[in-house]
Structure 1
Amino acid sequence: MVIPVIGVILVAMAFNYTNGFHDAANAIATSVSTRALTPRAALVLAAVGNLLGSFLGAKVAATVGSGIIGLHTGGAGLLVVFAALIGAIAWNLITWYFGLPSSSSHALIGGMVGAAIAASSTVLWAGVIDKVVIPMVISPIVGVIAGYFVMLAIYWIFRHKNPGKLNRGFRWAQTCSAAGMAFGHGMQDAAKTMGIVVLALQVGGLQTGSSIPLWVFFVCAAVLSAGTYAGGWRIMRTLGRKVIELGPPQGFAAEVTASVILYVAAIGFGAPISTTHTITSAIMGVGATKRISAVRWGVAGNIITAWVLTFPAAGAVAAAAYGVSALFV
C-alpha cells in the first residue's frame, strides 16, 4: 500500500499548491491594492506567514482528518480520498480561471462528502454540520458586521487626523495586518491538507492514530507557501479592486477583522472555515461604512454564487472522479 499512499499524498500536494495560488489573494490583495506592499514583497510575506501558521493548525487538521467522513482501510478508502482531491482541485482551477474567490476549504470538504457518498462510505453528517456548515454560514456574517464596526471605530478614533499622514501610517500598519492574515491562512489551509495526508496514511495502513508526523507539517506548509508565492493575480484583482476601492485604513480594518475570526475558529473550535469567505465579507463590511452603494454588489453577488456552488459542485466532480477511477481499479 506504500505506492498508492504516496500517489494520494502527491495529489494532496497538488491540491495544496492550487490552494496556495488560489488563496494567495486572501492574505495580500488589500495590502497590494492600497500600495502598502509591492506584489512580490506581499507574496513573500504571505508565504512565510503560511509556513509559520501551519504549526498551530492541529485542531483543524484533526477535524478534516477524522471528523468529516469515515473510511475503511485499504485501496477503496484511498480511492475516496483521491477522488475528493480531484474534485477540489478541479473547482479551484475553474474558479481561479474566472477570477472568483471561492473557498478551497469547502471545495475540499465538498469533494470528501461527494466521493464518500459515491463510494457508499460513511459521512459524519453531525461533524459536517457542526464544523463546516454552521461556521460557513456564521463566519461571513460575523465578517461583515465586525468589519463594519472596526472601520467605524477607526473613523472615530482618527477623525481629527490629517488624511495624508493617516494613510501613510496605515500603510505601515498593513504590513502587520497582512502578516496576521497570512498566519491565519496557514493555520487554516495548510492544516486542512495535513488532515488529508494523515487520513491517507491511516487508510493506507501506514499510521494508527490521528497525530501529525513532523514531516507532514513541513511538507504541507512548504508546498502551500510555494503555491502562495506563485501568486493568484486573477483573484487578487477581484478582491483588491472590483469589490470596492480600498484605502490603507480600510485594508487594515478588513485584514485585522478577518485574522481575528480565523484565529478564533482554528484555535478555539478547530473549525475549518474559509479564509476566502472571511476576508471577502470583512471587505464588504468595511466598504459599507462609506455608503452601501460603495460596494459593487454585482461583483459581490457573483462571489456569493460561487460560494453557494462550491460545496455541491466539488462534491459532484469528486463523485464522478470516483466512478471513473473505480472502473480502472
Structure 2
Amino acid sequence: MSTTLFLVTVVIITALFFDFTNGFHDSANAMATSVATGALKPKVAVLIAAILNVAGAFLSTEVAKTISGGIVNDAVVTPTMIFAGLVGAILWNLMTWLFGLPSSSSHALFGGLIGAVLIGAGASGVNFSVVVSKILLPAVMAPLVAGLAAGLATFLLYKLIKRADAEPAAGWFRHAQSVSASLVALSHGTSDGQKTMGVITLVLITAGYQEAGTGPQFWVVAAAGLAIGIGTYSGGWRIMRTMGKGIVDVKSPQGFAAETTSAAAILASSHMGFGLSTTQVCSGSIMGSGVGKKLAEVRWGTARKILYGWLLTLPAAALVGGVAAAIALTGTIGLLLVFLALLVGAGTIYAISKRSPVDSANVNDSAEVTINPVKQPADV
C-alpha cells in the first residue's frame, strides 16, 4: 500500500467516524419533540430516524458538491489538512454532546476544515464567498425563518382548534407527529448525510483518485448513509433531553408544527446546496413553537446557552482543526500524534459521560443534563 493510499484510507475512516458522531449528535433534531410528547417511544423513534437518514442520503448530492468543490480550493488542499479538520469537528461534536448542547455538526465540520486549510494552505485555500453565501448567511436566516414559521403555525393551530392539548385532538396530533418527525429524519439525511460524502469526495480528488468537479461515487453515498444511520440509532439521548424538555415543555400540537416547518426548511436548503445546520433549524422551530402558544414557557436561559454554542462552534472547531493541522503537517509522527490525541480525547469524553448517563429510559426525566453529579450516601 502506498503512503498516499494509506493516508486516504485513514482520512476516510476518520470521516465516517465523524459521520457517526453527526448521527448521534443530531438524532434529537428529528425525534426530540415526538419523544417528549409521547408520540413515539424512544427506541422506536431512533430506529425510524436511522432508517430514514440512510434513505435521505440517496436523494440528493447538492450539499456534497458544495463541500467537495465549494468551501475550499481542492487544488491546494491535501488529505492531511482534511484529516486535521475532521479531528477538530469530531472533538467539538463530542464536547457539546457531553453537555447536552444542540450545536451544529455541520458548522463543526466547516470550521474544522477552514481552520486546517488556513494553516496548511493559507487564505487562498478557502473560498470565502461560498462560506458567506452558503454557510454564514443561512446560519443567521434559517433558525429565524424556521422559528417564525413554527410560531405562526403553532398560533394558528391553537386558534383554529379549541382544546388542542386535550383529547381527542392531542391524540390526533401525536399520530401526525409520527409523519412530521419522519419527514425531518428524511430531510436530515438529505442534508447532513451528504456532508461526509463531500469530505470523502474531496479527499479522493485531492489525492488524485477522482476528477475535480465530480460528485460522490455510489460507494461513498452508501458508506456515509450507513454511518450516519448507525450513529442516529445509538440515540444521542443527552441532546434529545435538552431539545425535548430543556427549551420548551412541548405539547403535541407544538411538536407537529415545529417538525413540519423544520422538514420544509431543510429539504428546501438541501435542494439549493446550502450547508444548513439542521440543528439550528430544529432548535429555532422548537423555540418558535413555544412563543406561538399562549402562556407557554420558553426557557430562555437554556436558549442562551444554545446560542452561545452556535456562536462558538465554527471558530472553536477551526481553532482545533488549525492546531491539529500544524502538528499533522510536520510529518508521519505528527499525523500519528494527532490521531492518538483524537482517540484519547474521545475516550476521555465518553468516560466522563458515564458518570451521569442519559439513555432511552430517563431521556424525559428532567430538563437538564448534569455532569459529575455528587453521589449522596445511601440511607441506612
Q: TM-score, normalised to structure 1's length?
A: 0.96
Counting only pairs closer than 5 Å after superposition, residues 40-119 of structure 1 correspond to structure 2 as 40-72=43-75, 77-119=78-120
How far residue 292 of structure 1 moved from its aligned partner, in angstroms, is 7.4
CA distance in 2, matches of 1:86, 1:291: 44
Give 2:215's aligned amino acid.
Answer: S
Q: Which has the higher contact order (CA 8 A, sep 6+)?
A: 1
Q: Sequence identity, in percent?
A: 40
Tell me the equivalent position of 2:240: 236
Deviations 1:247-282 (A, max 9, x none): 111111100010000011111x21010110000000
How far residue 304 of structure 1 moved from its aligned partner, in angstroms, is 0.3
CA distance in 2, matches of 1:4, 1:161: 57
How far residue 157 of structure 1 moved from its aligned partner, in angstroms, is 2.7
Match of 1:169 among 172, 190, 193: 172
Deviations 1:17-38 (A, max 9, x none): 0001111111110000000000
CA distance in 1, matches of 2:283, 2:323: 30
CA distance in 1, matches of 2:78, 2:63: 21
CA distance in 1, matches of 2:264, 2:194: 17
CA distance in 2, matches of 1:321, 1:57: 31
Counting only pairs closer than 5 Å after superposition, residues 276-315 of structure 1 correspond to structure 2 as 276-291=279-294, 294-315=297-318
Aligned length: 326
Q: Which runs of 5+ in 2 are unaligned?
A: 333-380
Does residue 1:252 correspond to 2:256, yes or no? yes
CA distance in 2, matches of 1:272, 1:28: 21
Give 1:259's aligned amino acid.
Answer: A
- What SS class does the counterpart of residue 325 from structure 2 fall into? helix
Question: Highest CA radius of gyration, 1 or 2?
Answer: 2
CA distance in 2, matches of 1:101, 1:211: 30
Q: Which runs of 5+ in 1 are unaligned?
A: none
Is contact 1:33-1:240 (8 Å) kept?
A: yes
CA distance in 1, matches of 2:60, 2:81: 24
Match of 2:227 among 219, 223, 228: 223
CA distance in 2, matches of 1:91, 1:245: 28
Deviations 1:144-163 (A, max 9, x none): 11111111121223237682
CA distance in 1, matches of 2:51, 2:71: 29
Counting only pairs closer than 5 Å after superposition, residues 10-49 of structure 1 correspond to structure 2 as 10-49=13-52
* Structure 1 stretches of 4+ moved >6 Å: none
- What SS class does the counterpart of residue 249 from structure 2 fall into? coil
CA distance in 2, matches of 1:212, 1:99: 32
CA distance in 1, matches of 2:312, 2:318: 10
Tell me the equivalent position of 2:121: 120
How far residue 130 of structure 1 moved from its aligned partner, in angstroms, is 0.4
CA distance in 2, matches of 1:241, 1:162: 17
Does residue 1:2 correspond to 2:5, yes or no? yes
Point out the more displaced range, 124-133 or 202-211: 202-211
CA distance in 1, matches of 2:192, 2:19: 8
Give 1:247's aligned amino acid.
Answer: K
How far residue 171 of structure 1 moved from its aligned partner, in angstroms, is 0.8
Is contact 1:57-1:190 (8 Å) kept?
A: no
Does residue 1:148 correspond to 2:151, yes or no? yes
Is contact 1:50-1:224 (8 Å) kept?
A: yes
